[in-house]
Amino acid sequence: MTDTDRAPGGGAVAALTRWTLILHAALLAAQPFLAGAMLDAMSPSPQTMHRMVAMTVVAVAIVQVLLTLAAWKGRAGWPRDAFNLSLLLLGLELVQFTLGHLSLGMALHIPLGIASLAAGVYLAVRFARHPIPVEG
């Protein structure tokens, strides 16, 4: 391990980043179920929940970008790819959120949702297993 891996705070940033990646993927996985519940049109609550989770997804994505930047540039020594992919996913989610919120381009909203889900799960699986640095 390098000195940066052993620097105080690296493990905390890495652990928080790990949990943010997992939370983000879980929120993304919830969205198709909420969208499916909207299709039966029994009540307005699935649509409200889908919208609320979408806003939360974007907020968590912003936090994820900041944490992966801190983990990459800071003491945790994470790969740059975690930050780059998180930034790309945030952009994808902002486009998708805008299309969904404005009820525009549903033919694009659904494939973007699938791509977001796949990217979020990929990030969680690939980087949440990244070793947490040893505090020293």
The whole-angstrom separation of Cα 78 and Cα 36 is 36
Confidence of residue 136 (pLDDT cuts 50, 70, 90): very low
50 Cβ partners below 8 Å, 6+ apart?
31, 34, 35, 38
Classify 72 in phi/psi space as left (phi over 0), alpha (psi -120 to 50) or beta: alpha
What gap in Å lies between CA 35 and CA 57, rounded to an integer? 14
Q: Which residue, chain included where needed, has tokens 């033919």?
A: 107
Does residue 61 have a pLDDT over 90? yes
- Determine what percent of the chain falls in helix, strand and coil, rounding each to the nearest 5: 80, 0, 20
Report the 10 Å Cβ neighbour count for 124.
22
Model confidence at 7, in pLDDT bands (50, 70, 90)? very low
- pLDDT over 90 (residue 36): no
